[in-house]
Structure 1
Amino acid sequence: MKDIIVYTQNECPPCKIIKMFLNEYGFSYSEKNIHEDEKSRQELTEIYGSYSTPTIIVGSEVIIGFDLEKIKQVLNINE
């Protein structure tokens, strides 16, 4: 199982949906809220080159924004 990190922020409906989706499929993940943690905000922009949430990291894959099809592909979810 690859590590999953979800970068979120407050008042972000797509962030909530992604977390519900991951929970529904039984994936564990680490959440990093960029509004509450300056270090997480720096990681998001400097390491991953993203300025939006949600940004989902699955192993070496970086998914910027709400891209459910890409997340399903990376996590091998076939429906």
Structure 2
Amino acid sequence: MRKVEVFTTPTCEDCKNFKKYLNEHNIPFKEYDISEHPEHADTLRERSGKNLVPTIFIDDAVFFGFVFNRQEIEKLLS
């Protein structure tokens, strides 16, 4: 089982699409809402060097955005 973490905001459509994908495929994930918890934004910057959502961590891989990385993410999670 892969470890999936995603940094999100409620207004981010790409974040919603990724969470929908995970839920439809019954893939467990940990979500960090940076708008609700500013400390998550600090963690995101420390871990990725950026402040973009969604930032997706799958094990040791990092993806900035779901739509542009969808094929690679799906391959990793299948």
- Tell me the TM-score normalised to structure 2 length: 0.89
Matched, 1:70 2:72: yes
Q: What is the aligned-residue RMSD (CA, Å)? A: 1.1
What is the Cα deviation at residue 73 of structure 1? Answer: 2.1
What is the Cα deviation at residue 50 of structure 1? Answer: 2.4
Q: Map of 1:17-56 to 2, 5 A cutoff?
A: 17-56=17-56
Whether the 8 Å contact between 1:50 and 1:64 is mirrored in structure 2 is no
Q: Secondary structure at the match of 1:68?
A: helix
What is the Cα deviation at residue 49 of structure 1? Answer: 1.5
What is the Cα deviation at residue 48 of structure 1? Answer: 1.3
Structure 1 residue ranges without an equivalent (≥5): none
Number of paired residues?
76
Between 37-46 and 14-23, the greater mean CA deviation after superposition: 37-46
Structure 2 residue ranges without an equivalent (≥5): none
What is the Cα deviation at residue 12 of structure 1? Answer: 0.5
Higher helix share: 2
Distance in 1 of aligned mates of 2:53 and 2:72: 15
Distance in 1 of aligned mates of 2:17 and 2:47: 24
What is the Cα deviation at residue 37 of structure 1? Answer: 0.8
